[in-house]
Structure 1
Amino acid sequence: MKHSLAYLTFALSLAFAVAPFFSGDFAGFASDMLPNPQINPPVQPAGYAFAIWGPIYLWLIASSIYGVMYRKDDVDWDTARLPLCISLAVGVPWLLIAQVSVILATITIFIMAGAAIAALIRSPVQDRWWVRGPVGLYAGWLTAASFVSLATTLAGYNIGFDSYGWAIAGIIAALTVAIATYRRVESSTYIVAVVWALVGICVANGMANFVVTALAITGIVILLCVMAMQAPRTPRTLS
């Protein structure tokens, strides 16, 4: 149906933003959901960092409204809308899933992150603050959050490393994906979201877990350097 993706994106963006009012906020898995309880796992950002969802919700809704009003027939927008809709559709029930199954929540958040990154890569350069900006912020946070979920789950099931080992592995993995994604599509908001998560990890760990904090700080510096090195070459694609 003509214009269906534009309206579907709006509906899903709205449903995604409203979902927490029915399922409750989320700031990490309950410790009793894992065989090896994870109380304040070192890979998890401080609670305040989850406030980034406010700007994400509002910006995605604003983007979808702009799309309905001015870009219903835009093929470039539709190319990004399809994977974005997949991500949002999975995201609507995610908070409920996270209260029931850690494993299923980890699988679904990776689906959300993968689809969001695909939407970011497909996002048009024009109207970048209406498309690439909000999608980048969303995809960046999901990149970090997916590896937080994975590291917490694996540590909670006593697979491989302990919680500190998985924190280090999770940060490195998130950085690898973030750098690879940024090399495909230069989105400053994507990097900002990942950096925000790393700052939250620094705040949560402080000097008590110095290695984790030092790695997170190193990651922040690396991401900012990657942005600085790439920006002069293609400044018009930054969002």
Structure 2
Amino acid sequence: MNARDHATTTARGSDLARQIVVLSAVSFMLIAAVIGSGAFGNTAVEDQQGGALDTDGSYLAPAGPAFSIWSVIYLGLIAYAVWQALPRQRASARQRAMGWPIAVTMVLNGLWLVAARFGTLFLTVVVIVLLLAALGWAFRTAVVTRDPRGGVVDSVLIDGVTGLHLGWVTLATVANTAAWLTTVVPPSWEDAADAIGVAVLVVVALIGLAIAWRSDWRVAPALALAWGLSWLAVERLTGEPTSTPIAIAAVIVALVVLLPPLAVSGLRLIRPSID
């Protein structure tokens, strides 16, 4: 196996099918994203489900600018879909391992937007939990099949993009679930919103650290998670509903999940033998 094509020597009939499926999956995701953005005059995502998915839909919703990370993730997925379709990637062992899981995440990404537009709020929770599970599978596969000879493009478009997707959807799952619960629990529960929100963020910290540990301290998931947590803090300090305890907890958790992977990465740059 060489660094240029990271491939096995013989292509299989299923390899072309895999490439086509990935291209079809990213096309479906993009069509769903355009519709979900309200580009054709329909209701945008944040205004669907009675506004439950907007930044004021729950105590755990991040501020609007946080969602700009989708542009980075989508561009990365588009670039991956084009790159994996190149002839020299067809018989790649790495692509054989990663193409199908990433295609599943693209489809579920699009299905979430369909569920938000045409389904129920509970259905969006079901779909995003499935998306989170698929991303966990995809990212774990990326880590296990990692080949240091794969090159920068391989690292960025597989490990990097999948990691960002996983980190962001981890927080998005929390926000989506909180939005749904806000519509079904008794109003009296709001008196305990600060305590519940802080407790949930503690769990998020544990999940973020677990992802980092299981991925050999990859930085990408932590970056996306810390990004979302930072904007959650901004929204709780400047938006509605306001919660200073949740905002402070969000900042602390962002540091907790981000600093260890950054520290390990820094040590590896200084002392490569640490691996």
TM-score normalised by structure 1 residue count: 0.86
Conserved? CA contact 1:6–1:81, under 8 Å: yes
Q: Which amino acid aligns with 1:171?
A: L
- 1:82-120 deviation digits (Å, cap 9, x = unpaired): 222222222222112123311111011010011012111
Conserved? CA contact 1:151–1:166, under 8 Å: no
RMSD between aligned residues: 2.6
Per the alignment, residue 226 of structure 2 pairs with: 195
Question: Secondary structure of 2:228's match?
Answer: helix
Conserved? CA contact 1:44–1:204, under 8 Å: yes
1:146 aligns with 2:173: yes
Question: Secondary structure of 1:148's match?
Answer: helix
Q: Name which one, 1 or 2, has greater alpha-carbon Rg.
A: 2
Per the alignment, residue 117 of structure 1 pairs with: 136
The alpha-carbon distance between structure 1 residues 39 and 231, as it changes in their structure 2 partners (threshold 3 A), is closer
Alignment partners' CA distance in 1, 2:72 and 2:255: 24
1:96 aligns with 2:114: yes
- 1:63-99 deviation digits (Å, cap 9, x = unpaired): 1211111422112222222222222222222112123
The alpha-carbon distance between structure 1 residues 184 and 33, as it changes in their structure 2 partners (threshold 3 A), is closer
**Bigger shift: 131-140 or 4-13?**
4-13
1:8 aligns with 2:21: yes
- 1:113-137 deviation digits (Å, cap 9, x = unpaired): 1101211111134321121111111
Q: Structure 1: any 5+ residue segments left out of the alignment?
A: none
Alignment partners' CA distance in 2, 1:233 and 1:52: 27
Question: Secondary structure of 1:113's match?
Answer: helix
1:170 aligns with 2:210: no
Q: Which amino acid aligns with 1:90?
A: L
**Bigger shift: 211-220 or 176-185?**
176-185
Question: Size of the alignment, in residue pairs?
Answer: 234
Using the TM superposition, give the Cα deviation of residue 29 of structure 1 relative to its aligned residue in structure 2, in angstroms.
Answer: 5.7
- Correspondent of 2:248 among 205, 214, 235: 214
Identity %: 18
Using the TM superposition, give the Cα deviation of residue 233 of structure 1 relative to its aligned residue in structure 2, in angstroms.
Answer: 6.2
Q: Which has the higher helix share?
A: 2
The alpha-carbon distance between structure 1 residues 23 and 232, as it changes in their structure 2 partners (threshold 3 A), is closer
Q: Which amino acid aligns with 1:9?
A: V
